[in-house]
Amino acid sequence: MLRCLAQGSIGSICSVPSANARLGTAGVSLRSLGIDRLGLEERIALVEEIWDSIAADSAAVPLTTPQRDELDRRLADHAAHPNDVLSWDEVKVSLDERLKK
């Protein structure tokens, strides 16, 4: 949930509730876990480990009906047009061209 605190000339000042607030884990924080004492490289490595552990459990995160429908639509489109693809290099060139405009 996005909470907007004020409207300014540039836009709204908004914040997203912390994970602790969303999950009801008020006792867990960077400080309580000692993460605030880690260096930048150590924190990045920790984030990578956490992300890998989430990816390993990704089957436990159910898709919503709209997400499942979109996945099914994309798979059906790919099955119907298997050669209608772009390489990653082609995608990068296309993005670079769009961003230059």
Domain definitions of the chain by residue range: 63-101
Q: Does pTM top 0.95 for this prediction?
A: no
Interatomic CA distance for residues 57 and 34, integer angstroms: 25
Please tell me the distance from the alpha carbon of residue 13 to that of residue 5, in angstroms, as a whole number. 5
Tens of pLDDT along 32-56? 999 999 999 999 999 999 999 988 8
- pLDDT tens per residue across span 65-97: 999 999 999 999 999 999 999 999 999 999 999
Tell me the CA distances in angstroms from 49 to 10, 45, 60, 96, one per residue in order. Answer: 37, 6, 18, 31
Q: Is 34 left (phi over 0), alpha (psi -120 to 50) or beta?
A: left
CA distance 48 to 54: 10
